[in-house]
Structure 1
Amino acid sequence: MKIALIMVLLAGVVGPATAADKAMTPQQQRMTSCNQQATSQTLKGDDRKLYMSNCLKNSRSAPGEKSLTPQQQKMKTCNAQAGRQTLTGDARKTFISNCLKKQTG
């Protein structure tokens, strides 16, 4: 019993040292980066799966670069449209609200 415990403890000490010695591949870096971003956004379930899928497919960006969620992309598009129309105040809020509803449905 004591021998098994000692082996487990040694594996815990030796294991991380050898893992740290290996350089991560670009795909592993991307996976780590996407996972950290999804965690920082507190995404769960299907939202997290979709985010991870989109993040990992976004091969044009550097591994540390943040990709937008679908909702963030909608907001960006609607905000840009409102900016082109130089909308402000309540008119801008109403436009963005209607724009997001159109894109959702």
Structure 2
Amino acid sequence: MKKLIAVACLGLFVTVSAPVFAGAQQEKMKGCNAEAKADALKGDERKAFMSKCLKKDYTLKAAEGAKPEEKAALPAARQNKMKSCNADAKTQALKGDERKAFMKNCLKGE
């Protein structure tokens, strides 16, 4: 019985935490795609670059040139934007799909 409960809890944890990790990976993928386009990579060369770029220890070129203060400011700015959008959605009493659509547009800056 304890094993069943442990497996259920683990499954719930993975299900809930997966979107959080997916967001970071998606951002890295966007950065890697931008670098590959800028370098005009195609075919096997692009495939090899993407494989290397998506690894944990690879630093994107855009992030290399940024100052430490700027790197720290980006997550803070994103967090502030999220707080603002959440507050707006709450005042409008949005729920479900309407809230999801509003948040998506708000975070894009539309």
Please state which structure has a larger fraction of its residues in helix.
Answer: 2
TM superposition score normalised by structure 1:
0.36
Greater Rg, structure 1 or structure 2?
Answer: 1
TM superposition score normalised by structure 2:
0.35
The structure, 1 or 2, with the larger RCO (C-alpha pairs under 8 Å, 6+ apart) is 1
